[in-house]
Amino acid sequence: MASHRRPKQTSRARVTVLTATAAAAVALSAQAAQAAPAKQSVKTVKAKVDALYEQTEQATEKLNGATEKQDQLQKQVEVIQDEVARQQGDLNDLQDDLGTLASAQYRSGGIDPTLQLFLSADPDSYLDKASTLDQVSTKQAEALRQIAEKKRTLNQQKAEAASKLSELDQTRTELRKKKKEVQGKLAETQKLLNSLTAAQRAALAAEDARSSRSNERVNLGNDTPASGRAAAALAAATGKRGAPYVYGATGPSSFDCSGLTSWAYAQAGVSIPRTSQAQANAGQRLSMSQLMPGDLVIFYGDQHHVALYAGNGMVLHAPRTGTVVRYESINNMPFQFGVRI
């Protein structure tokens, strides 16, 4: 006779474990899907890279400003400290002179003047000595006045030196912060570039190569520079085509944007400020239609990029990290105004 045993039921605990395992598997699958997003298009990545490079250049110009301020403060501190040392030397000399006068007065005037006159066998001789003592007292008073004045000047200069040193210390702290910001932006950009596939990297490299080739056949027209110095500055910068962009660099083998323009004008014998924001205020402002070769061209609302106008709607500049000094259309960036030096 067949047995009619009832099938063994799955325990409630076992059902719970299986359910939990299945749920965990679903969750892990969802997390894996989130951790491996679809590859971004080259166009999307390029837009992100360009935005990061622009942020890097903004930070670079702030770094340049802090560097320039540090250099200026350092020179001011050195001048003040030299003056403090000179004034201290003068004060020491005055104090030595005063000591000599005081010793002479003591030796000449150690006895009460009335008694000296009474005891003197030669009153005329004493009167001559008394006149000398009056002169010594006058010199002593003048020496005291000079010493007091020197001390006031010295204290003022010491206070100024202390203030400048404090400002210099703050600037150095700011400089370290700005440098770290630039390096962080560059690291972020590199991380994004490293995430690209080999094909995407090749596509970006091909685009850069096209930009370089287009620089070999640029039509600059026949515009005439506004002045001899503008012509000389543009000629100097033209000779640096192909030099790499390096943040904070001012030549002669590498440049950032304002490093190139300040170096170029220095070759023309003209000193202009270091940063693009300061260069924006270094001369006469121009509209786009007024530009002539050698004029500065300021880009972006915060004026963080500067180039040299090359003619026929083209500028010569150091664009960003990973590029070289090259020609580019003036319309590739948001034009603000020109500056004639």
Q: Tell me which amino acid residue 134 is.
A: D
Residue 5 — very low, low, confident or very high, per pLDDT cuts 50/70/90? very low
Residue 13 — very low, low, confident or very high, per pLDDT cuts 50/70/90? very low
Pairwise CA distance, residues 153 & 203, whole Å: 67
Q: Measuring CA to CA, how many Å separate 284 from each of 277, 278, 338?
A: 14, 13, 8
Residue whose pair of structure tokens reads 């360009």 in the numeric block: 50
pLDDT exceeds cutoff 90 at 39: no
DSSP strand pairing (305-311 vs 296-299): antiparallel
Res 275: pLDDT: 94
The DSSP annotation for 80-91 comes to HHHHHHHHHHHH
Return the domain boundaries, the chain: 42-194, 221-340
Out of 185, 305, 326, 340, which one is annotated catalytic? 305
pLDDT exceeds cutoff 80 at 136: no
DSSP strand pairing (326-329 vs 296-299): unpaired
Pairwise CA distance, residues 198 & 158, whole Å: 62
Question: What CATH number was assigned to the domain covering residues 42-194?
Answer: 1.10.287.1700
By residue count, the chain amounts to 341
Active site residue 317: yes
> 103-135, pLDDT tens digit by residue?
655 555 554 454 444 445 565 565 555 555 555
Active site residue 257: yes
> Does domain 221-340 bear CATH number 3.40.350.10?
no
Residue whose pair of structure tokens reads 């603000």 in the numeric block: 336
Residue whose pair of structure tokens reads 């590498």 in the numeric block: 254
Out of 230, 233, 257, 316, which one is annotated catalytic? 257
Pairwise CA distance, residues 148 & 142, whole Å: 10
Pairwise CA distance, residues 154 & 171, whole Å: 25
Q: Select, from the ranges 11-20, 93-102, 143-152, 204-213, the one with the highest average predicted confidence (pLDDT).
A: 143-152
Pairwise CA distance, residues 283 & 247, whole Å: 25
Comparison of pLDDT for 17 and 120, the residue scoring more: 120
Average pLDDT over residues 49-70: 86
Average pLDDT over residues 3-21: 45
pLDDT exceeds cutoff 70 at 36: no
Res 112: pLDDT: 45
Across the beta sheet with 335-340, the strand order is 284-286, 335-340, 296-299, 305-311, 314-317, 326-329
CB atoms near residue 94 (< 10 Å): 20
Average pLDDT over residues 63-67: 87
Out of 69, 178, 317, 320, which one is annotated catalytic? 317
Res 126: pLDDT: 56
Pairwise CA distance, residues 293 & 76, whole Å: 36
Q: Look at the pTM and tell me if it is higher than 0.85.
A: no
Residue 267 — very low, low, confident or very high, per pLDDT cuts 50/70/90? very high
Q: Measuring CA to CA, how many Å separate 305 from each of 206, 250, 319?
A: 25, 15, 8
Comparison of pLDDT for 50 and 219, the residue scoring more: 219
Res 41: pLDDT: 75
Comparison of pLDDT for 211 and 330, the residue scoring more: 330
Q: Select, from the ranges 64-68, 195-199, 258-262, the one with the highest average predicted confidence (pLDDT).
A: 258-262
Average pLDDT over residues 217-242: 94
Res 110: pLDDT: 53
> 187-224, pLDDT tens digit by residue?
888 888 888 888 888 887 777 767 665 666 788 999 99
